[in-house]
Amino acid sequence: MDTATNEKNILIIDLTPKSVNIKNQEITLRKIIYMESIDGVILGAGSHPDELNDELDKLDELDIPIFAVDTKIEYFGVYSYISVDNYDSVGLAEKHIVDVTKSKGTVLIIIGTYGQINSVDSNY
């Protein structure tokens, strides 16, 4: 991702908190919105978007697109919702492992149970 973003001259600002502290994430987002020029926002899994309503309103006011990735959000300003199919992702990982190991070796796959809730369905 770094190479692709560098070639396209895209700066990625990661607001992933070091600990579960939504207040710090909210304050940092507010500072970036008001102090820097940003062109888009990605809300990742576990970002607690319901706690960021004021900031989301400001982003909408500034016509900055908001994208949600594996996080449930009910906000009118979200441009797109992207969900990852974990089973398809495992398939891609399997193909990559086969390529890397040149089809030799042993691979351990650890998964949850079918129907296990993900970050979209869980209650924060």
Q: Which helix (H) or strand (E) holds 79?
A: strand 78-82
What residues have CB less than 8 Å from 12, skipping those under 6 apart?
1, 5
Q: What is the pLDDT of residue 17?
A: 55
* Summary mean pLDDT of the chain: 66
Condensed to tens digits (0 to 9), the pLDDT of residues 11-27 reads 666 655 555 566 666 67
Q: What is the mean pLDDT of residues 22-50?
A: 69
What class does CATH assign to 2-82? alpha beta
The model's pTM: 0.52
* Domain spans of the chain, in order of start: 2-82
Whether the predicted pLDDT of 65 surpasses 50: yes
pLDDT band at 46 (very low <50, low <70, confident <90, very high): low
If we measure between CA atoms, which residue out of 103, 106, 69 comes closest to residue 89?
69
Average pLDDT, integer, range 106-118: 53
Check pLDDT > 50 for residue 4: no
